[in-house]
Structure 1
Amino acid sequence: MVVLSQPALDHFLLLQPCKPTPLFTGIPVVDLTHPDAKTLIVNACKDYGFFKLVNHGVPFDLMANLEHETLKFFKKPQSDKDRAGPPDPFGYGSKRIGPNGDVGWLEYLLLNTNPDVISPRSLFIFKENPQNFRVAVEEYIRAVKNMCYVVLEMMAEGLGLGVAQRNVLSRLLEDEKSDSCFRLNHYPPCPEVQALNGRNLVGFGEHTDPQIISVLRSNSTSGLQICLADGTWVSVPPDQTSFFINVGDTLQVMTNGRFKSVKHRVLADTTKSRLSMIYFGGPPLSEKIAPLPSLMLKGEESLYKEFTWWEYKKAAYTSRLADNRLGPFEKPAAH
């Protein structure tokens, strides 16, 4: 085990001592089989930008198998893992998050989910690992994508867009040029944090997700926190059998601010490792992003300038994690 000194820990973000954050029991729970699931989804996206999805139809065996295969990769010698990095942006990364100085107590794999544009780094990762790792990844992604399409179609209906427009969101992820990706995050335990007088070590700093929607599944270790509308940070109780759905920046724009992109972060655990799997559903790079006309009320003004997903993605990934990424794309308030 690597023992870190206080100076070494100072390279990472440490939160100041504060009252322990209790597990938040108010997270909206949506049963995908509920007769009025579409309304529950819309209400959760308006109130929190976040909800837990149960009875989602994805077999637990797929989740458990991918977790097993992924942990085998992260348990490899560091020299073996480093051969799959540095990320380009796909591949293996450790501690550094993006190119702008953000760091976190984690290691990760970032993979492209479009089989037509699989990156050389992703192919290398699959080649260097047993075939069952690639099979586990592909089976899991296929199942989560299909579930995600259902959620987005229910969301569209819940927004009142009607059956004729129920695929207005899901089509962007189903498009063969969809710019979606898949991230596997591993947060090793950090026993040294116990000596920090109540301070917390940040595994992944506060941020919003740029894409349309994020689908998260993690093991039974806590650490995920979301920021409520009043600025309070709350801890999300872990549930390895369920999914957690995040509204992304792009969806906030497409709903003209009706849905809010949720700010979230992950704190490191002192004794247990955390593994999370996140599918980020993004539109094609050339897709123009603007509020959906069919959602706009008479006389309602767009809060955002129109942009392509490529323009926003480029801006988002050249910013710091905690930056207000949508800020430059907001229209000035009318006087």
Structure 2
Amino acid sequence: MATNFNNGDSLFNFVVKDGNGVKGLVDLGLTEVPCRYIQPPHHRINNQQVAGSLENVTIDLSELDGPNHDQVVRSIVHASETLGFFQVVNHGVPLKLLDSLKLAAHEFFGQPAEKKLVYLNGVSPSPLVKYGTSFVPYIEKVLEWKDYISMTYTNDADAHEFWPNDLTEVALEYIKTSSEMVQKLLQTLIGNLGVKVDDSRFHELTGRTLVNMNFYPPCPNPDLTVGVGRHSDAGMLTVLLQDGIGGLYVKKGESADSPGDDEVWIEIPPVHGALVINIGDALQILSNGRYISAEHRVRTTDIESRVSVPIFNAPLPEAKIGPFAEVVARDGVARYKEVTFEEYTKSYLKKTLDGKKSLEFASVI
């Protein structure tokens, strides 16, 4: 049965339309990757391009309120200006909760397909919950080796009504226990730009929250596939929980705009108890390019299933994002135009993942 999935229509219907996802393929005993998942060579993760790991960029956030405050701020700013990624420990999110999140993700995706189909993208009774596979499978020529469920937070009542019952409590606690950390990090980064924003504006820039659970089943040919293609996140700041398997890579520097042998990718290694933080496009735009929303992508593995749990902290749809006036005055030029975040995300979601090309929508130079 699995060999028939080299017929594009039958595979697409099984994986996407019928909601079986990549997990469904693996459960059939797949021994080789169907053609629809084989990435062109320039999109694969080449071992020769990987330059070690980012072991030294782990920041102890408990010191942000202590005598080492200035040093911690410098570390956060430097990482945001040079790579767009760093890891944090002593962040205020209970370590027991992190273990519970990983377990909940495995249990959700381990359910029979009919249990997950309730939330299938296009079928789900609520726009707050979306279960699916890959990124935008209806326009992608090559699919990603990933299934996911996405839950938008509006308030606790909506979460309890619409989110999957077995994920609600753990996901809500993850959002709530990380919110103070997110606020501190964003206030630190915005303040470092010499910008002051009032509570109303800060809420505009951070008021939309989504929590995803991503599932990467073992892949029979990991060198031919990707879990997530090269991209930057659209929002302000992403908080990511990795499991212990690894596979997250970030591109070092922005000088190479097209794929090539000169690219260097750095692994963001799993650190027990740590959360990965990365800068999003909206913050790059607001900072007039000072902070970097670095490209990142995810490798597949043939060892065992991998999960990750990101929280995307983003502006409200109607919020206007453009370079802060104070930064433009200092730089002497605005590198981005002002757009609403809704306009930006509509453009972002129209395309397949392709590095940082999403930023072209707001770029003026």
Alignment TM-score, normalising by the size of structure 1: 0.85
* 8 Å Cα contact 2:52/2:267 also seen in 1: yes
> In the alignment, does 2:148 pair up with 1:108?
yes
* 8 Å Cα contact 2:153/2:210 also seen in 1: yes
Question: In the alignment, what sits opposite 1:182?
Answer: 211
> In the alignment, does 2:190 pair up with 1:156?
yes
Cα root mean square deviation, aligned: 2.6
> In the alignment, does 2:326 pair up with 1:326?
no
> In the alignment, does 2:284 pair up with 1:256?
no
Q: How many residues align?
A: 316
Query: C-alpha separation between the residues in 2 aligned to 1:95 and 1:306?
Result: 30
Q: CA deviation at 1:91?
A: 1.7
Deviations 1:156-192 (A, max 9, x none): 233333xx54868743355xxx2221111011112x2
* 8 Å Cα contact 2:243/2:306 also seen in 1: yes
Question: In the alignment, what sits opposite 2:76?
Answer: 41
Alignment TM-score, normalising by the size of structure 2: 0.78
Identical aligned residues as a percent: 27
* 8 Å Cα contact 2:146/2:217 also seen in 1: yes
More deviation, 260-269/318-327: 318-327
Question: In the alignment, what sits opposite 1:147?
Answer: 181
Cα distance change on mapping 1:7 and 1:156 into 2, 3 Å: closer
* 8 Å Cα contact 2:84/2:278 also seen in 1: yes
Aligned with residue 171 of structure 1, among 198, 203, 206: 203
Question: In the alignment, what sits opposite 2:320?
Answer: 288
> In the alignment, does 2:131 pair up with 1:92?
yes
Query: C-alpha separation between the residues in 2 aligned to 1:200 and 1:240?
Result: 29
Question: In the alignment, what sits opposite 1:193?
Answer: 221
> How is 1:178-327 mapped onto 2 (pairs within 5 angstroms)?
178-190=207-219, 192-193=220-221, 199-229=223-253, 231-298=263-330, 300-322=332-354, 324-327=357-360
Query: C-alpha separation between the residues in 2 aligned to 1:75 and 1:281?
Result: 27
Query: C-alpha separation between the residues in 1 aligned to 2:137 and 2:298?
Result: 16
Deviations 1:41-91 (A, max 9, x none): 111100111111122121111111222222211111122222221256632
Question: In the alignment, what sits opposite 1:19?
Answer: 48
Query: C-alpha separation between the residues in 2 aligned to 1:262 and 1:58?
Result: 25
Cα distance change on mapping 1:17 and 1:276 into 2, 3 Å: closer
Query: C-alpha separation between the residues in 2 aligned to 1:277 and 1:225?
Result: 16
* 8 Å Cα contact 1:208/1:248 also seen in 2: yes
The structure in which a higher percent of residues are helix is: 2
* Gap runs ≥5 in structure 2: 1-26, 64-68, 256-262
Deviations 1:94-143 (A, max 9, x none): 24545421621111110002228958xx94442xx34xx31111111111
> In the alignment, does 2:34 pair up with 1:8?
yes
Question: In the alignment, what sits opposite 2:172?
Answer: 138
Q: CA deviation at 1:9?
A: 4.6
2:133 maps to a residue whose letter is S
Cα distance change on mapping 1:221 and 1:169 into 2, 3 Å: farther
Cα distance change on mapping 1:148 and 1:96 into 2, 3 Å: closer
* Gap runs ≥5 in structure 1: none
1:271 maps to a residue whose letter is I
